[in-house]
Amino acid sequence: MSLFTALLSGLIFGLGLLLSGMASPAKVLGFLDLAGAWDPSLALVMLGAVTVGLVAFAVAGQRSRSLLDLPIQDPPRHRIDRRLIGGSLLFGIGWGLAGFCPGPALVALGMGSGQALVFFAAMLAGMKAFDWIERRRAPPA
C-alpha cells in the first residue's frame, strides 16, 4: 500500500508541476529575472506549497503514526553550518543557471526534454562527486 501511495503522491506532484508551469525552465528563469520581465507566479506556487507544508507538519507533529499506520520519522535536526550554506549556494546557482531543480527536471525528463537530460546527468555527476569526496574524508575503519 505504501508503494502505491508513494506512486500516487509522485504523480500528483508531477501533475502539479506541469499545471503550474514549474517544469519549464523559462518560467523559473522568469521568476529569477528581477531586472527584466519578472514573473511572480513561482512565488505564488511556493506560497501555496509552504502553506500546505506548514499545515501537514503541524498535523504530523501531533501524531506518532501516519494515515497509512506507518511510524512518522522526524528528520534529524542539525545546526546551520558551512556545509549547509555551501550546498544551498550551489543549489541556488545551479537552479538560476539551468532553471531546473530535481523535481521539475524529472518531470521535464519524462517529457523528453534534452535540457533536462543534460541537467539530470550533471546532477548525477555531482551526487557521485559528493559521495567520492565524503568517502575520502571519512576516517579509515
Q: How far is CA 124 from CA 11, 59, 130, 131, in A?
A: 22, 34, 10, 11
pTM above threshold 0.95: no
pLDDT of residue 73: 83
Mean pLDDT of 53-77: 87
Tally of residues, the chain: 141
Q: How far apart are the first and last CA of the chain?
A: 39
Of 72, 64, 53, 49, whose CA–CA distance to 2 is shortest?
72
Ordered by start, the domain boundaries in the chain are: 2-137
Mean pLDDT of 47-71: 90
- Is 54's pLDDT higher than 90? yes
Residues 6+ apart with CB under 8 A from 107: 14, 17, 18, 23
Which pLDDT tens digit goes with each residue over 66-89?
888 888 887 777 788 898 899 899
Mean pLDDT of 9-18: 89
Confidence of residue 24 (pLDDT cuts 50, 70, 90): confident
pLDDT of residue 124: 94
